[in-house]
A and B are shown apart, each in its own frame.
Chain A
Amino acid sequence: MKIAFSTEGESLESLLDTRFGRCPRFLVWNFETNSFTLVDNSQNLQATQGAGIQSAQNVINTGAEALVTGHCGPKAFKVLQAAGIPIYVAESLPIRELIDSFEKGTLLQLKEADVEGHW
């Protein structure tokens, strides 16, 4: 199973970026191989609108089965929900710690968008 984390960094020590739509990249952790890949999301830093939707599309394209981020707006939530990808929210902590929390099942799952969308 693979899970995606929004981040500004490039390693497991990097902090979670609590922004979803405008985070520069995703770290995708693979539980089978215990390794990760980095997926660029920087085109959305430039987007004038719809950054959340395209970030969601990027997460879907990585094949991740879950997403860990800080906040999620209504449009991105809708896209991820349609793709069957659950969203977990956390504070800006090192990704290594968050992988542990995910395995222990202590991360909070988002049942609806928690920030207002803007366009």
Chain B
Amino acid sequence: MKIAIASGKGGTGKTSLAVALLHANAERARLLDCDVEEPNCHLFLSHTVIGHKAVELLIPQVNPNLCKLCGKCVEACQFNAIAIAGNQVMIFNELCHSCGGCARICPHGAIQEFPVKIGELSQSRCKNEAELLTGTLEIGHASAPAVIKAAKKALPLQDVPFTLIDSPPGTACTFVAAVEDSDFVFLVTEATPFGLNDLKLAVEALLNMELPFAIIVNRIQSETNLITDYANQQGFPIWLQIPEDRHIAETYARGGNLLDVKPELKKVLRELLDRCQP
């Protein structure tokens, strides 16, 4: 089953939790880093890269011998990726969404599509034997969702029961691409007004998508019931609460993970995955 780890706001400890979940469930889970603009999981896992694969999109190319400079492709392109200047058609690959509209509309059959690299998937084996798959978008390309979709389609090294997905922060199109068709979502938040505000946005998005989720509250400081009150009122489950702890922050600063400080959480992190089963 696929479990996405998401959060409305960055810096809530989403990556940290994803890494800890992988450690606690090493023999039965793998991790996909779908935060393709800033994939950071690899910084916290000792691993060996065992393979790379390019992510490609079909991008149009114009055959100048057939092109009559009629401009129909410029008109058809909704992404402003084509222009006619002098006596040539210029296509800007990084703006192309690969819809195929220009090739379809060209009355002279002058446009053909070819695969072009827009990102990369790298496959690693971690020291704990689990698999890490990292999607990285090439800087300057617009199609982050395409790289995320490719990462989710990549075949596992070996079949394991749980696929964990570290999603990009926020609720924009990249978030949707990462969490859609998951079986369950963990929403990581922190017990602050910012955390609550951003949690509400993420919840709204997940309710729209009709995805089941549970809340994980991180960095609980002082006596605040901010998140618990909201969750109880709305009837949303909270599955784990992690207190604010300077040691966790220091360990993270050294590239360590949650379980290094709180090994007792291992059992809880295993149960978390079991509870997702319907």
Interface residues, chain A, CB within 8 Å of chain B?
44, 47-51, 53-54, 56-57, 60, 75, 78-84, 119
Which chain A residues border B81 with CB–CB below 8 Å? 50, 53
Q: Does the CB pair B86–A82 fall under 8 Å?
A: yes
Which chain B residues border A44 with CB–CB below 8 Å? 80
> Can you give 13 A-B contacts (C-beta < 8 A)?
A49-B79, A49-B142, A50-B95, A53-B80, A53-B82, A56-B85, A57-B74, A79-B83, A80-B85, A82-B88, A84-B86, A119-B140, A119-B142
Considering only CB atoms, which chain B residue lies closest to A84 in the complex? B86
Nearest CB on A from B144, distance (A): 11
Cα separation A75 to B85 with both chains bound (whole Å): 12
Cα separation A114 to B161 with both chains bound (whole Å): 52
Nearest CB on B from A75, distance (A): 6
Nearest CB on B from A28, distance (A): 17
Which chain B residues (57-114) contact chain A, with CB distance < 8 Å? Answer: 74, 79-86, 88, 90, 92, 94-95
Which chain A residues border B140 with CB–CB below 8 Å? 119
Q: Does the CB pair B79–A54 fall under 8 Å?
A: no
A50's contact among B80, B84, B86, B88, by CB below 8 Å, is which? Answer: B80
Which chain A residues border B85 with CB–CB below 8 Å? 56-57, 60, 79-83
Known A49-B79, A50-B95, A119-B142; 10 more pairs at CB < 8 Å: A49-B142, A57-B85, A75-B92, A75-B95, A79-B83, A79-B85, A81-B85, A82-B86, A83-B85, A119-B95
Which chain B residues border A56 with CB–CB below 8 Å? 83, 85
